[in-house]
Amino acid sequence: MWPWEKIADEWHSMENQLQIESFWTFTNPNPDASRYEFSRMTFLFEMLLRCEKDGDGAFVNVSAQLSRNKHYLFERCLSIMMDQEIKTLPFLRCNSPLDELTDDEFGLPIAPHEITRGMFAL
């Protein structure tokens, strides 16, 4: 199995789990929000972004960002996914460099023509 197939399988599994109504309503405090109609995976990205800190060390107010820009989640995640130079996992405190984590997890280095470093990091 290729690394991107493993990622696709994991993504599909997460989306399937989020489609179980009892799990979805237990996990999400606002399960009926219209922003989750297209994809419930949006909720996971939103939760990741809620862990992000600004330059002053304060958590980014994702709700305020979304009220100013309805495409905030997409734009913020896109900037991470397209980053070929990213060295660490965004939003999480982790002492392991991304190279070490991807080698351990996927068994081969990232191939930039197939998937970006940012996609792995996110």
pTM: 0.57
CA angle 36, 61, 73 (to 5 degrees): 40
Q: Where are the domains of the chain?
A: 29-104
The tens digit of pLDDT for each residue in 78-114 reads 887 777 777 766 666 555 666 666 665 555 444 555 5
Write out pLDDT tens, residues 20-38.
Answer: 888 888 888 888 888 788 7
Q: pLDDT for 32-63, tens place per residue?
A: 888 788 788 888 888 888 888 777 888 888 88
Helix axes 72-81, 41-49, angle to 10 degrees: 80
Query: 121: pLDDT confidence band, cut at 50, 70 and 90?
Result: low
Q: What is the pLDDT of residue 108?
A: 46
